[in-house]
Structure 1
Amino acid sequence: MAYPSDRPDLTIKAVPQRHPFRWLAAGLTAILLVGVVSSAFTNPRYQWDVVARWLTDGTIISGLLLTLQLTCVSMVIGVLMGIVLAVMKGSRNKLLSATSSGYIWFFRGTPLLVQLVFWFNISALYPRIAVGLPFGGPDLLSLDANQVITPMTAAILGLALNEAAYMAEIVRAGILSVPPGQIQAANALGMTGLQTTRKIVLPQAMRVIIPPTGNQTISMLKTSSLVSVLAIPDLLYSAQIVYSRTFQTIPLLIVASLWYLLVTSLLTVAQSFVERHFSPDADRPDRRFRRSRPRQEGLT
Protein backbone atom coordinates (compact mmCIF):
# COMPACT_ATOMS: atom_id res chain seq x y z
CA MET A 1 0.00 0.00 0.00
CA ALA A 2 1.46 3.35 -1.02
CA TYR A 3 1.34 6.24 1.43
CA PRO A 4 1.41 9.84 0.32
CA SER A 5 4.73 11.50 1.01
CA ASP A 6 4.86 14.43 3.39
CA ARG A 7 7.87 15.95 1.59
CA PRO A 8 7.13 19.15 -0.34
CA ASP A 9 7.52 19.18 -4.09
CA LEU A 10 10.90 20.85 -4.74
CA THR A 11 10.79 20.55 -8.50
CA ILE A 12 11.94 23.80 -10.12
CA LYS A 13 9.84 24.78 -13.10
CA ALA A 14 12.06 27.16 -15.02
CA VAL A 15 10.25 29.60 -17.28
CA PRO A 16 12.48 31.21 -19.90
CA GLN A 17 12.63 34.96 -19.61
CA ARG A 18 11.10 36.81 -22.51
CA HIS A 19 12.90 39.66 -24.26
CA PRO A 20 10.36 41.44 -26.46
CA PHE A 21 12.47 44.57 -26.92
CA ARG A 22 15.46 42.50 -27.97
CA TRP A 23 13.42 40.78 -30.67
CA LEU A 24 11.97 44.12 -31.74
CA ALA A 25 15.45 45.61 -32.08
CA ALA A 26 16.62 42.55 -34.04
CA GLY A 27 13.64 42.83 -36.39
CA LEU A 28 14.21 46.53 -37.03
CA THR A 29 17.92 45.87 -37.64
CA ALA A 30 17.10 43.11 -40.11
CA ILE A 31 14.70 45.38 -42.00
CA LEU A 32 17.34 48.12 -42.11
CA LEU A 33 20.03 45.73 -43.38
CA VAL A 34 17.75 44.37 -46.09
CA GLY A 35 16.94 47.90 -47.19
CA VAL A 36 20.60 48.93 -47.34
CA VAL A 37 21.69 45.82 -49.27
CA SER A 38 18.73 46.08 -51.63
CA SER A 39 19.49 49.74 -52.32
CA ALA A 40 23.16 49.00 -52.96
CA PHE A 41 22.38 46.38 -55.60
CA THR A 42 19.34 47.97 -57.24
CA ASN A 43 20.54 51.57 -57.45
CA PRO A 44 22.21 51.92 -60.88
CA ARG A 45 24.14 54.98 -59.73
CA TYR A 46 26.54 52.75 -57.82
CA GLN A 47 27.82 51.57 -61.22
CA TRP A 48 29.15 48.21 -60.07
CA ASP A 49 30.38 47.44 -63.58
CA VAL A 50 32.68 50.48 -63.35
CA VAL A 51 33.83 49.31 -59.91
CA ALA A 52 34.72 45.88 -61.30
CA ARG A 53 36.61 47.43 -64.22
CA TRP A 54 38.78 49.71 -62.07
CA LEU A 55 39.28 47.38 -59.11
CA THR A 56 42.38 45.75 -60.61
CA ASP A 57 43.51 48.61 -62.81
CA GLY A 58 47.23 49.34 -62.85
CA THR A 59 46.80 52.86 -61.47
CA ILE A 60 44.82 51.63 -58.48
CA ILE A 61 47.19 48.73 -57.80
CA SER A 62 50.17 51.08 -57.96
CA GLY A 63 48.51 53.36 -55.41
CA LEU A 64 47.74 50.37 -53.18
CA LEU A 65 51.37 49.25 -53.22
CA LEU A 66 52.51 52.75 -52.30
CA THR A 67 50.02 52.82 -49.42
CA LEU A 68 51.37 49.52 -48.12
CA GLN A 69 54.93 50.81 -48.43
CA LEU A 70 54.08 53.97 -46.50
CA THR A 71 52.36 51.93 -43.80
CA CYS A 72 55.24 49.48 -43.34
CA VAL A 73 58.04 52.07 -43.32
CA SER A 74 56.18 54.48 -41.04
CA MET A 75 55.21 51.73 -38.58
CA VAL A 76 58.75 50.33 -38.36
CA ILE A 77 60.20 53.78 -37.68
CA GLY A 78 57.37 54.60 -35.30
CA VAL A 79 57.81 51.39 -33.28
CA LEU A 80 61.59 51.82 -33.00
CA MET A 81 61.28 55.45 -31.95
CA GLY A 82 58.46 54.53 -29.57
CA ILE A 83 60.69 52.03 -27.78
CA VAL A 84 63.41 54.66 -27.37
CA LEU A 85 60.92 57.23 -26.11
CA ALA A 86 59.38 54.74 -23.67
CA VAL A 87 62.81 53.95 -22.21
CA MET A 88 63.60 57.67 -22.00
CA LYS A 89 60.34 58.43 -20.21
CA GLY A 90 61.03 55.73 -17.64
CA SER A 91 64.55 56.96 -17.06
CA ARG A 92 65.57 58.45 -13.73
CA ASN A 93 67.31 61.24 -15.62
CA LYS A 94 64.94 64.20 -15.48
CA LEU A 95 66.17 65.67 -18.77
CA LEU A 96 65.54 62.43 -20.69
CA SER A 97 62.17 61.91 -19.06
CA ALA A 98 61.07 65.50 -19.67
CA THR A 99 62.23 65.40 -23.30
CA SER A 100 60.24 62.24 -23.97
CA SER A 101 57.16 63.63 -22.23
CA GLY A 102 57.39 66.85 -24.23
CA TYR A 103 57.70 64.95 -27.50
CA ILE A 104 54.65 62.82 -26.72
CA TRP A 105 52.68 65.88 -25.61
CA PHE A 106 53.45 67.81 -28.79
CA PHE A 107 52.89 65.10 -31.39
CA ARG A 108 49.73 63.77 -29.77
CA GLY A 109 48.36 67.25 -29.24
CA THR A 110 48.59 68.51 -32.83
CA PRO A 111 46.61 67.12 -35.79
CA LEU A 112 48.45 64.75 -38.08
CA LEU A 113 47.32 66.69 -41.14
CA VAL A 114 48.97 69.83 -39.75
CA GLN A 115 52.18 67.88 -39.14
CA LEU A 116 52.21 66.56 -42.70
CA VAL A 117 51.77 70.03 -44.19
CA PHE A 118 54.41 71.40 -41.81
CA TRP A 119 57.04 68.87 -42.89
CA PHE A 120 56.14 69.49 -46.53
CA ASN A 121 56.88 73.20 -46.03
CA ILE A 122 59.87 72.83 -43.71
CA SER A 123 62.13 74.51 -46.27
CA ALA A 124 60.40 77.81 -45.45
CA LEU A 125 62.03 77.61 -42.01
CA TYR A 126 65.26 75.86 -42.92
CA PRO A 127 66.25 76.40 -46.57
CA ARG A 128 69.34 74.30 -45.97
CA ILE A 129 69.72 71.31 -43.68
CA ALA A 130 73.22 71.35 -42.21
CA VAL A 131 75.07 68.97 -39.91
CA GLY A 132 78.07 70.43 -38.16
CA LEU A 133 79.59 71.65 -34.93
CA PRO A 134 77.36 73.77 -32.66
CA PHE A 135 77.89 77.38 -31.64
CA GLY A 136 78.94 78.64 -35.04
CA GLY A 137 81.24 75.75 -35.93
CA PRO A 138 81.87 74.63 -39.51
CA ASP A 139 79.24 72.58 -41.32
CA LEU A 140 80.21 69.01 -42.06
CA LEU A 141 77.27 68.46 -44.38
CA SER A 142 74.88 70.95 -45.96
CA LEU A 143 71.96 70.01 -48.22
CA ASP A 144 69.14 71.85 -49.93
CA ALA A 145 65.94 71.22 -47.92
CA ASN A 146 63.78 71.15 -51.07
CA GLN A 147 65.86 68.27 -52.42
CA VAL A 148 65.98 66.34 -49.13
CA ILE A 149 62.38 66.80 -47.95
CA THR A 150 60.49 65.43 -50.93
CA PRO A 151 56.72 64.82 -50.64
CA MET A 152 57.41 61.15 -49.89
CA THR A 153 59.97 62.05 -47.22
CA ALA A 154 57.55 64.55 -45.67
CA ALA A 155 54.84 61.88 -45.59
CA ILE A 156 57.08 59.34 -43.87
CA LEU A 157 58.31 61.92 -41.37
CA GLY A 158 54.78 63.03 -40.52
CA LEU A 159 53.36 59.53 -40.17
CA ALA A 160 56.34 57.99 -38.35
CA LEU A 161 56.98 60.80 -35.87
CA ASN A 162 53.31 60.98 -34.99
CA GLU A 163 53.08 57.21 -34.59
CA ALA A 164 56.16 57.17 -32.33
CA ALA A 165 54.32 59.27 -29.74
CA TYR A 166 51.50 56.71 -29.49
CA MET A 167 53.81 53.70 -29.58
CA ALA A 168 55.86 55.16 -26.72
CA GLU A 169 52.84 55.00 -24.43
CA ILE A 170 51.93 51.51 -25.63
CA VAL A 171 55.45 50.18 -25.00
CA ARG A 172 55.63 51.93 -21.62
CA ALA A 173 52.32 50.36 -20.59
CA GLY A 174 53.64 46.94 -21.58
CA ILE A 175 56.81 47.39 -19.55
CA LEU A 176 54.88 48.62 -16.51
CA SER A 177 52.59 45.58 -16.70
CA VAL A 178 55.47 43.30 -15.65
CA PRO A 179 55.46 42.86 -11.84
CA PRO A 180 58.53 44.54 -10.29
CA GLY A 181 59.10 41.50 -8.08
CA GLN A 182 60.02 39.38 -11.10
CA ILE A 183 62.68 41.88 -12.16
CA GLN A 184 64.05 41.96 -8.61
CA ALA A 185 64.12 38.16 -8.54
CA ALA A 186 66.03 38.09 -11.84
CA ASN A 187 68.57 40.54 -10.44
CA ALA A 188 68.91 38.40 -7.31
CA LEU A 189 69.66 35.38 -9.51
CA GLY A 190 72.53 37.28 -11.11
CA MET A 191 70.89 37.90 -14.49
CA THR A 192 72.18 40.86 -16.44
CA GLY A 193 69.93 43.69 -17.55
CA LEU A 194 69.87 42.35 -21.11
CA GLN A 195 68.98 38.84 -19.96
CA THR A 196 66.25 40.19 -17.70
CA THR A 197 64.80 42.23 -20.54
CA ARG A 198 64.95 39.39 -23.06
CA LYS A 199 63.76 36.53 -20.86
CA ILE A 200 61.55 38.18 -18.24
CA VAL A 201 60.28 41.59 -19.35
CA LEU A 202 59.71 41.24 -23.10
CA PRO A 203 57.78 37.91 -23.12
CA GLN A 204 55.27 39.32 -20.64
CA ALA A 205 55.19 42.88 -22.00
CA MET A 206 54.49 41.65 -25.54
CA ARG A 207 51.09 40.34 -24.41
CA VAL A 208 50.13 43.91 -23.59
CA ILE A 209 51.97 45.57 -26.48
CA ILE A 210 50.80 43.38 -29.39
CA PRO A 211 47.02 44.10 -29.42
CA PRO A 212 47.25 47.92 -29.49
CA THR A 213 50.18 47.75 -31.91
CA GLY A 214 48.04 45.74 -34.30
CA ASN A 215 45.29 48.33 -33.95
CA GLN A 216 47.80 51.10 -34.62
CA THR A 217 48.97 49.33 -37.79
CA ILE A 218 45.42 49.10 -39.09
CA SER A 219 44.87 52.73 -38.17
CA MET A 220 48.11 53.70 -39.93
CA LEU A 221 46.92 52.04 -43.13
CA LYS A 222 43.79 54.20 -43.15
CA THR A 223 45.51 57.33 -41.84
CA SER A 224 48.03 57.17 -44.69
CA SER A 225 45.24 58.43 -46.95
CA LEU A 226 45.97 61.90 -45.54
CA VAL A 227 49.14 62.04 -47.63
CA SER A 228 46.91 62.66 -50.64
CA VAL A 229 47.04 66.36 -49.66
CA LEU A 230 50.75 66.24 -50.57
CA ALA A 231 49.91 64.92 -54.06
CA ILE A 232 51.45 61.53 -53.29
CA PRO A 233 49.82 58.89 -55.53
CA ASP A 234 48.67 56.55 -52.79
CA LEU A 235 45.48 54.51 -53.06
CA LEU A 236 43.09 57.41 -52.40
CA TYR A 237 44.96 59.92 -54.55
CA SER A 238 45.15 57.42 -57.41
CA ALA A 239 41.37 57.02 -57.24
CA GLN A 240 41.02 60.81 -57.21
CA ILE A 241 43.21 61.10 -60.29
CA VAL A 242 40.99 58.62 -62.14
CA TYR A 243 37.63 60.13 -61.21
CA SER A 244 38.85 63.66 -61.91
CA ARG A 245 39.33 62.43 -65.48
CA THR A 246 36.32 60.15 -65.86
CA PHE A 247 33.88 61.97 -63.49
CA GLN A 248 32.97 58.59 -61.96
CA THR A 249 33.44 59.73 -58.38
CA ILE A 250 31.32 57.23 -56.45
CA PRO A 251 32.56 54.05 -58.21
CA LEU A 252 36.21 55.04 -57.70
CA LEU A 253 35.64 55.83 -54.04
CA ILE A 254 34.02 52.41 -53.69
CA VAL A 255 37.09 50.84 -55.32
CA ALA A 256 39.40 52.53 -52.81
CA SER A 257 37.13 51.53 -49.91
CA LEU A 258 37.04 47.88 -51.02
CA TRP A 259 40.84 47.71 -51.10
CA TYR A 260 41.10 49.33 -47.67
CA LEU A 261 38.56 46.85 -46.31
CA LEU A 262 40.41 43.89 -47.81
CA VAL A 263 43.81 44.88 -46.45
CA THR A 264 42.48 45.75 -42.99
CA SER A 265 40.71 42.38 -42.87
CA LEU A 266 43.96 40.59 -43.67
CA LEU A 267 45.78 42.62 -41.01
CA THR A 268 43.07 41.75 -38.48
CA VAL A 269 43.51 38.03 -39.17
CA ALA A 270 47.30 38.34 -38.88
CA GLN A 271 46.88 40.24 -35.61
CA SER A 272 44.74 37.45 -34.15
CA PHE A 273 47.42 34.87 -34.96
CA VAL A 274 50.15 37.00 -33.37
CA GLU A 275 48.04 37.58 -30.27
CA ARG A 276 47.39 33.86 -29.99
CA HIS A 277 51.13 33.20 -30.24
CA PHE A 278 51.88 35.53 -27.32
CA SER A 279 48.91 34.43 -25.20
CA PRO A 280 49.77 32.89 -21.79
CA ASP A 281 48.65 29.38 -22.79
CA ALA A 282 49.99 29.45 -26.37
CA ASP A 283 52.54 26.74 -25.59
CA ARG A 284 49.93 24.26 -24.30
CA PRO A 285 49.04 21.74 -27.02
CA ASP A 286 45.86 20.68 -25.21
CA ARG A 287 44.48 24.24 -24.97
CA ARG A 288 41.72 23.78 -27.55
CA PHE A 289 40.84 20.32 -26.26
CA ARG A 290 40.40 21.53 -22.71
CA ARG A 291 38.32 24.48 -23.76
CA SER A 292 35.94 22.37 -25.80
CA ARG A 293 35.68 19.50 -23.33
CA PRO A 294 32.91 19.95 -20.73
CA ARG A 295 33.83 19.59 -17.10
CA GLN A 296 32.61 16.37 -15.52
CA GLU A 297 33.67 16.86 -11.93
CA GLY A 298 31.54 15.07 -9.38
CA LEU A 299 29.84 12.79 -11.94
CA THR A 300 29.99 9.03 -11.68
Structure 2
Amino acid sequence: MSLPYTLLIDPLAADDATSATAGTFREIDASAPALRVGELSTQRGDGIFETIAVVDGHVQESEPHLARLVRSAEICDLPVPNLRQWRAAIAFAREQVPAEGELAMKLVLSRGVEHGPAPTAWLSVNAASDSTDARTKGIRVVTLDRGYDHGVAERAPWLLLGAKTLSYAINMAALREAHRRGADDTIFVTSDGYVMEGPTSSVIARIDGVFVTPKPSGSILAGTTQASLFEHIREHDFPVAERDITVEELRRADAVWLVSSVRLAAPVVDLDGVPLALDAEANAAFTRYLLSPRD
Protein backbone atom coordinates (compact mmCIF):
# COMPACT_ATOMS: atom_id res chain seq x y z
CA MET A 1 0.00 0.00 0.00
CA SER A 2 1.41 3.39 -0.98
CA LEU A 3 1.45 6.51 1.16
CA PRO A 4 -0.38 8.60 2.19
CA TYR A 5 -2.78 6.14 3.77
CA THR A 6 -6.06 7.10 5.46
CA LEU A 7 -8.79 5.42 7.52
CA LEU A 8 -12.04 7.27 8.16
CA ILE A 9 -13.28 6.28 11.61
CA ASP A 10 -16.76 6.18 13.15
CA PRO A 11 -16.09 7.79 16.58
CA LEU A 12 -19.46 6.74 17.99
CA ALA A 13 -19.17 3.05 17.15
CA ALA A 14 -20.14 0.52 19.78
CA ASP A 15 -17.46 -0.10 22.37
CA ASP A 16 -17.16 -3.78 21.43
CA ALA A 17 -16.31 -3.02 17.79
CA THR A 18 -12.79 -4.31 17.29
CA SER A 19 -12.14 -4.76 13.59
CA ALA A 20 -12.56 -3.17 10.19
CA THR A 21 -15.29 -5.69 9.36
CA ALA A 22 -17.35 -4.27 12.22
CA GLY A 23 -17.84 -1.11 10.15
CA THR A 24 -16.00 1.15 12.59
CA PHE A 25 -13.54 2.45 9.99
CA ARG A 26 -12.95 2.33 6.24
CA GLU A 27 -10.04 3.01 3.95
CA ILE A 28 -10.05 6.23 1.93
CA ASP A 29 -8.25 6.58 -1.37
CA ALA A 30 -5.58 9.29 -1.14
CA SER A 31 -7.00 11.08 -4.17
CA ALA A 32 -10.63 10.95 -2.99
CA PRO A 33 -12.36 13.72 -1.00
CA ALA A 34 -12.89 12.74 2.62
CA LEU A 35 -14.03 15.83 4.59
CA ARG A 36 -17.09 18.02 4.15
CA VAL A 37 -16.91 21.79 3.59
CA GLY A 38 -18.54 22.47 6.94
CA GLU A 39 -15.97 20.40 8.87
CA LEU A 40 -15.00 22.31 12.03
CA SER A 41 -11.49 20.88 12.08
CA THR A 42 -10.67 22.89 8.97
CA GLN A 43 -12.89 25.89 9.64
CA ARG A 44 -11.92 26.50 13.27
CA GLY A 45 -9.25 24.01 14.26
CA ASP A 46 -11.87 22.58 16.61
CA GLY A 47 -10.49 19.16 17.35
CA ILE A 48 -7.58 17.22 18.80
CA PHE A 49 -4.84 15.00 17.42
CA GLU A 50 -1.85 12.80 18.17
CA THR A 51 1.12 11.97 15.96
CA ILE A 52 2.77 8.60 16.58
CA ALA A 53 6.07 7.48 15.11
CA VAL A 54 6.19 4.16 13.26
CA VAL A 55 9.74 2.80 12.97
CA ASP A 56 10.31 -0.26 10.79
CA GLY A 57 6.73 -1.37 11.31
CA HIS A 58 6.64 -0.79 15.06
CA VAL A 59 4.15 1.76 16.38
CA GLN A 60 6.04 3.64 19.08
CA GLU A 61 4.29 4.02 22.44
CA SER A 62 0.74 4.11 21.17
CA GLU A 63 -0.76 3.79 24.67
CA PRO A 64 0.73 7.06 26.05
CA HIS A 65 -0.49 8.81 22.91
CA LEU A 66 -3.97 7.35 23.32
CA ALA A 67 -4.01 8.38 26.99
CA ARG A 68 -3.14 11.94 25.97
CA LEU A 69 -5.87 11.84 23.30
CA VAL A 70 -8.36 11.03 26.05
CA ARG A 71 -7.06 13.91 28.22
CA SER A 72 -7.31 16.32 25.31
CA ALA A 73 -10.88 15.18 24.60
CA GLU A 74 -11.86 15.79 28.22
CA ILE A 75 -10.35 19.29 28.20
CA CYS A 76 -12.09 20.15 24.93
CA ASP A 77 -15.49 18.63 25.82
CA LEU A 78 -15.29 16.11 23.00
CA PRO A 79 -16.67 12.55 23.20
CA VAL A 80 -14.37 10.21 25.08
CA PRO A 81 -12.37 8.29 22.44
CA ASN A 82 -13.27 4.62 22.12
CA LEU A 83 -9.77 3.26 22.79
CA ARG A 84 -10.59 -0.28 21.70
CA GLN A 85 -11.64 1.08 18.35
CA TRP A 86 -8.59 3.33 17.99
CA ARG A 87 -6.29 0.43 18.89
CA ALA A 88 -7.94 -1.69 16.20
CA ALA A 89 -7.54 1.09 13.64
CA ILE A 90 -3.85 1.53 14.54
CA ALA A 91 -3.22 -2.21 14.21
CA PHE A 92 -5.10 -2.40 10.90
CA ALA A 93 -3.25 0.60 9.44
CA ARG A 94 0.12 -0.76 10.57
CA GLU A 95 -0.48 -3.88 8.45
CA GLN A 96 -1.27 -1.81 5.35
CA VAL A 97 1.73 0.54 5.26
CA PRO A 98 5.43 -0.11 4.52
CA ALA A 99 7.18 -2.25 7.13
CA GLU A 100 10.48 -0.40 6.77
CA GLY A 101 11.48 3.19 7.34
CA GLU A 102 10.16 5.96 9.55
CA LEU A 103 6.50 6.95 9.24
CA ALA A 104 4.20 9.39 11.00
CA MET A 105 0.76 8.12 12.04
CA LYS A 106 -1.73 10.87 12.86
CA LEU A 107 -4.96 10.36 14.84
CA VAL A 108 -7.57 13.12 14.58
CA LEU A 109 -10.85 13.64 16.44
CA SER A 110 -12.85 16.70 15.35
CA ARG A 111 -16.12 18.16 16.57
CA GLY A 112 -17.45 17.38 13.11
CA VAL A 113 -19.70 19.46 10.90
CA GLU A 114 -21.40 22.45 12.53
CA HIS A 115 -24.84 21.39 13.80
CA GLY A 116 -24.02 17.89 12.53
CA PRO A 117 -25.03 14.67 14.27
CA ALA A 118 -21.57 13.36 15.18
CA PRO A 119 -17.86 14.12 15.43
CA THR A 120 -15.43 13.28 12.65
CA ALA A 121 -12.38 11.07 13.15
CA TRP A 122 -9.63 9.69 10.98
CA LEU A 123 -6.20 8.11 11.02
CA SER A 124 -3.57 8.90 8.38
CA VAL A 125 -0.03 7.65 7.76
CA ASN A 126 2.67 9.52 5.86
CA ALA A 127 6.41 9.19 5.40
CA ALA A 128 8.23 11.06 8.15
CA SER A 129 10.40 14.02 7.22
CA ASP A 130 14.12 13.33 7.14
CA SER A 131 15.41 14.49 10.55
CA THR A 132 18.95 13.13 10.22
CA ASP A 133 20.65 16.52 10.24
CA ALA A 134 18.53 17.82 13.14
CA ARG A 135 19.36 14.72 15.21
CA THR A 136 23.08 14.67 14.48
CA LYS A 137 24.17 18.23 13.71
CA GLY A 138 21.65 20.00 15.92
CA ILE A 139 19.32 22.95 15.49
CA ARG A 140 19.41 26.69 16.04
CA VAL A 141 16.65 27.94 18.33
CA VAL A 142 15.26 31.30 19.43
CA THR A 143 13.07 31.98 22.46
CA LEU A 144 9.74 33.71 21.82
CA ASP A 145 7.35 35.24 24.36
CA ARG A 146 4.08 33.26 24.48
CA GLY A 147 2.29 36.34 25.79
CA TYR A 148 1.18 35.19 29.25
CA ASP A 149 2.68 34.27 32.61
CA HIS A 150 3.19 30.68 33.74
CA GLY A 151 0.09 30.63 35.97
CA VAL A 152 -2.43 31.46 33.25
CA ALA A 153 -3.77 27.93 32.73
CA GLU A 154 -5.09 27.73 36.28
CA ARG A 155 -6.83 31.09 35.89
CA ALA A 156 -8.14 30.53 32.36
CA PRO A 157 -8.70 26.81 31.62
CA TRP A 158 -10.80 27.76 28.57
CA LEU A 159 -7.54 28.53 26.76
CA LEU A 160 -7.12 24.71 26.41
CA LEU A 161 -3.37 25.01 26.90
CA GLY A 162 -2.94 21.44 28.13
CA ALA A 163 -4.73 19.88 25.14
CA LYS A 164 -3.17 18.88 21.83
CA THR A 165 -5.62 20.70 19.59
CA LEU A 166 -5.74 21.23 15.83
CA SER A 167 -5.53 25.00 16.35
CA TYR A 168 -1.87 25.34 15.34
CA ALA A 169 -1.85 28.77 13.68
CA ILE A 170 0.18 30.34 16.50
CA ASN A 171 2.65 27.43 16.53
CA MET A 172 3.22 27.72 12.79
CA ALA A 173 3.55 31.51 13.01
CA ALA A 174 6.20 31.03 15.71
CA LEU A 175 8.16 28.68 13.43
CA ARG A 176 7.99 31.20 10.60
CA GLU A 177 9.28 33.89 12.95
CA ALA A 178 12.14 31.61 13.97
CA HIS A 179 13.03 31.13 10.30
CA ARG A 180 12.94 34.90 9.74
CA ARG A 181 15.47 35.21 12.56
CA GLY A 182 17.75 32.64 10.94
CA ALA A 183 16.83 29.79 13.32
CA ASP A 184 15.30 26.36 12.82
CA ASP A 185 12.87 26.25 15.74
CA THR A 186 11.70 28.12 18.80
CA ILE A 187 11.10 27.64 22.50
CA PHE A 188 8.10 29.45 23.96
CA VAL A 189 8.72 31.33 27.22
CA THR A 190 6.26 32.99 29.56
CA SER A 191 6.08 36.75 29.99
CA ASP A 192 7.58 36.33 33.47
CA GLY A 193 10.62 34.45 32.17
CA TYR A 194 9.92 30.71 32.44
CA VAL A 195 10.56 28.04 29.82
CA MET A 196 7.52 26.31 28.32
CA GLU A 197 7.87 24.11 25.22
CA GLY A 198 8.47 24.25 21.50
CA PRO A 199 5.62 24.59 18.99
CA THR A 200 5.88 20.84 18.28
CA SER A 201 8.26 19.60 20.96
CA SER A 202 9.17 19.32 24.63
CA VAL A 203 12.27 20.86 26.18
CA ILE A 204 14.93 18.87 28.03
CA ALA A 205 18.02 20.58 29.46
CA ARG A 206 20.95 19.27 31.44
CA ILE A 207 21.66 21.77 34.20
CA ASP A 208 24.45 21.08 36.70
CA GLY A 209 24.41 17.41 35.70
CA VAL A 210 20.63 16.95 36.12
CA PHE A 211 18.30 16.36 33.17
CA VAL A 212 15.34 18.70 33.69
CA THR A 213 12.13 19.52 31.88
CA PRO A 214 9.57 22.23 32.68
CA LYS A 215 7.24 21.19 35.49
CA PRO A 216 3.96 19.77 34.11
CA SER A 217 1.11 22.24 34.32
CA GLY A 218 -2.04 23.18 32.51
CA SER A 219 0.06 25.50 30.35
CA ILE A 220 2.38 22.83 28.96
CA LEU A 221 1.40 19.81 26.89
CA ALA A 222 2.59 16.60 28.54
CA GLY A 223 5.34 15.16 26.33
CA THR A 224 5.15 11.44 25.53
CA THR A 225 8.69 11.33 24.11
CA GLN A 226 10.06 13.37 27.00
CA ALA A 227 8.43 11.03 29.53
CA SER A 228 9.82 7.95 27.78
CA LEU A 229 13.30 9.43 27.53
CA PHE A 230 13.27 10.35 31.23
CA GLU A 231 12.46 6.74 32.11
CA HIS A 232 15.42 5.64 30.00
CA ILE A 233 17.71 8.19 31.67
CA ARG A 234 16.58 7.04 35.14
CA GLU A 235 17.33 3.43 34.22
CA HIS A 236 20.92 4.49 33.55
CA ASP A 237 21.16 6.12 36.99
CA PHE A 238 21.30 9.73 35.85
CA PRO A 239 19.23 12.25 37.83
CA VAL A 240 16.13 13.81 36.29
CA ALA A 241 13.74 16.48 37.53
CA GLU A 242 10.51 18.19 36.51
CA ARG A 243 10.59 21.78 37.74
CA ASP A 244 10.19 25.36 36.69
CA ILE A 245 13.13 26.50 34.53
CA THR A 246 13.96 30.14 33.99
CA VAL A 247 15.18 31.40 30.64
CA GLU A 248 18.49 32.39 32.23
CA GLU A 249 18.97 28.84 33.53
CA LEU A 250 18.30 27.48 30.05
CA ARG A 251 20.95 29.73 28.58
CA ARG A 252 23.49 28.45 31.13
CA ALA A 253 22.60 24.77 30.58
CA ASP A 254 25.25 22.14 29.81
CA ALA A 255 23.11 20.88 26.91
CA VAL A 256 19.56 21.34 25.58
CA TRP A 257 17.30 19.16 23.40
CA LEU A 258 13.93 19.58 21.75
CA VAL A 259 12.22 16.18 21.71
CA SER A 260 9.16 15.00 19.81
CA SER A 261 7.63 11.76 18.55
CA VAL A 262 8.82 11.90 14.93
CA ARG A 263 11.92 14.13 14.95
CA LEU A 264 13.04 12.45 18.21
CA ALA A 265 15.83 14.30 20.07
CA ALA A 266 17.26 17.36 18.35
CA PRO A 267 20.17 18.95 20.22
CA VAL A 268 20.13 22.75 20.42
CA VAL A 269 23.51 24.07 19.25
CA ASP A 270 22.60 27.77 19.22
CA LEU A 271 20.16 29.55 21.52
CA ASP A 272 19.28 33.17 20.74
CA GLY A 273 22.51 33.51 18.80
CA VAL A 274 24.74 32.04 21.51
CA PRO A 275 26.43 28.66 20.80
CA LEU A 276 25.57 25.70 23.06
CA ALA A 277 27.63 22.56 23.47
CA LEU A 278 26.46 19.39 21.72
CA ASP A 279 26.97 16.31 23.87
CA ALA A 280 27.57 13.82 21.07
CA GLU A 281 27.66 10.76 23.33
CA ALA A 282 24.38 11.51 25.12
CA ASN A 283 22.78 12.56 21.87
CA ALA A 284 23.69 9.32 20.11
CA ALA A 285 22.39 7.31 23.07
CA PHE A 286 19.08 9.20 22.98
CA THR A 287 18.67 8.55 19.26
CA ARG A 288 19.43 4.83 19.60
CA TYR A 289 16.87 4.50 22.35
CA LEU A 290 14.16 6.51 20.61
CA LEU A 291 14.57 4.52 17.39
CA SER A 292 14.34 1.20 19.25
CA PRO A 293 10.93 -0.52 19.59
CA ARG A 294 9.03 1.10 22.46
CA ASP A 295 5.60 0.11 23.81
Structure 1-normalised TM-score? Answer: 0.24
Larger Rg: 1
Higher relative contact order (CA 8 A, sep 6+): 1
Bigger proportion of residues as strand: 2
Bigger proportion of residues as helix: 1
